[in-house]
Each structure stands twice: as structure tokens, then as C-alpha cells.
A = this chain, B = another copy of it.
Amino acid sequence: MRLDPASPADLSVQIASAIRDAIVAGELIVDQRLPSEAELSEQFKVSRPTVREALKRLAAQSLIRTQRGATGGAFVNRISFEEAYSQQITTSTLLLSMNAVSFETACEARYALERACAPLSAARRSADHLATMRAEIHRQGQPGLTDEAFCASDVAFHRALVDGAGNPVMSYQLAGAVEAMQPLMNMITFTARDRARIVAMHSDIADAMTEQDGPAVEAGLTVLERETQQLALNAIAARQAQKTSAR
């Protein structure tokens, strides 16, 4: 690991890159301990705070973890699926909220990807997944549920569907697509009638899952997508009307 003295980038950025490259290239193995901060600062010919800033950057990406104490130090981290999930979700959420992605685009992507899970999930889902889906459907039917809680339950329902495929890589990739939609969904107000329709569609999907009928699950998702898009259009129209009348 060496630095490019001609590089215009800040030292801490360069050091972080050098270590990251070493990890990605496999020169540093999982659970291997990095040299101590003092050693690194000597090796790179920089001060300890600079090394620390570099290490913090890597820690933020879960590439390393640090431990205090006598045998402590920075260790190459095995990125767990859970950590990767949550990173994926925050990045996706911010990406959508900051880039004025239309509801339509995000929704289309989400349902397209979710349909990709349908055949696998229908074939492999466990009783647990079915139970989760049914439980969330039941919750969604309860009166007095806030819109936010309804959306959260919706997300849980869809996650169960995705997880049913039993493919952790797929669950990971979809985590962002499903969860990042939640803030967008929260802008919709669901009337009692809307909810009833959605619950009915969820039931259809759960039924198809129970019977391991992949195509039926796909069809159910397509119907649900159309409904969701329509609800969003109505919500946007309502907001427009409100704005006009306020003038």
C-alpha cells in the first residue's frame, strides 16, 4: 500500500483508498488486523489524526471495525447481509428523495423486480413466510390504523414475499427497492375503501402463494401495481387541486 504523491486528493482520502483497494483485492483477509494507527501513520508518513480520518471513512462503509483495548485495533470486517441491507436502504431512500424520482418510475422498478421473485418465492416459500403475510394482511384490515402504520405493514408483507424466494442476494437487492418506496407511499392518504381493495389484492397474492402458483402471484402483483399507480395519481391530482384553490 502506497500513496501517489502527485495526487491532488486529500491525504486521508488517499489512505482510505489505498486500504480499501487492498481489501477489495483480497490482500487483506477478513478478520485480519490492520497495523495500529501509530504504525500506519509511520508507514504513510502522516499524523495519527489523518490516519484516523481515513479509518473512520472505511468504518462508515463497514469495511473495517475497530476494537479498543490491548489486543484491539482495526480489523477487516465481514460485511453481513444485515449491514448491507441497511446501507442499501439509506442510500436508496436518499437517492429517491433527493433526485425527484417520480413515483411512477420508482413504483415501476419496484414491482418489476418483485415480480422477478414471484416464481421462486411461490415455489419455495415456507409456512413462516405465509404466516407473516397473513398476519400483515390482518393488521392492514384493522380500523384506526394510521397511514404510516399501514405502509409499514405493506412493506413487511412485501418483504415476506421477497424473502420467500430463499435467496439472500435477491432479498438484499430488493431491500432498497421495497423500503425506499415507503416515504413516497407515505404521501398517499388511503381511504377505507382503498385499504379494503389493497387488502383484497394482498389476499389474492397470499392465496396464490399458498397454492404455489407463481404466475398467479405475478398477476396479483401486476394488479396491485396498477392500483398503486392510480392511487398516486389521485393523490397528486388532489394536491394540485388544493394548491389551485389556495391561490
Contacts and interface: CB of A to CB of B under 8 A. Distances in A.
Contacts of A95: 79, 81, 84, 169, 172
A115 interface: yes
B49 A169 contact: no
Q: How many copies does the complex hold?
A: 2
A18 to B, nearest CB: 14
A116 interface: yes
Interface stretch (A58-66, A134-142, A152-160): A58-66
A61 B91 contact: yes
Interface residues of A, number: 58
A139 to B, nearest CB: 25
A61 B165 CA distance: 30
Nearest to A90: B24
A96 to B, nearest CB: 7
A109 interface: yes
A168 interface: yes
Given A58-B60, A88-B91, A109 B176 contact: no
Contact of A109 (B49, B59, B88, B169): B169
A195 interface: no
B167 A108 contact: yes
A97 B26 contact: yes
Interface string A79-91: 1110010011011
Interface string A93-104: 111111101000
A16 interface: yes
Interface of A: 12, 16, 20, 23-24, 26, 30, 49, 52-54, 56-61, 63, 78-81, 84, 87-88, 90-99, 101, 105-106, 108-110, 112-113, 115-117, 119-120, 165, 167-170, 172-174, 176-177
27 contacts: A20-B90, A24-B90, A52-B53, A54-B56, A56-B56, A57-B60, A58-B60, A60-B60, A61-B87, A78-B98, A79-B91, A79-B98, A81-B99, A87-B87, A88-B91, A108-B120, A108-B170, A109-B170, A109-B173, A112-B116, A112-B117, A112-B120, A112-B165, A112-B170, A169-B177, A173-B173, A173-B177
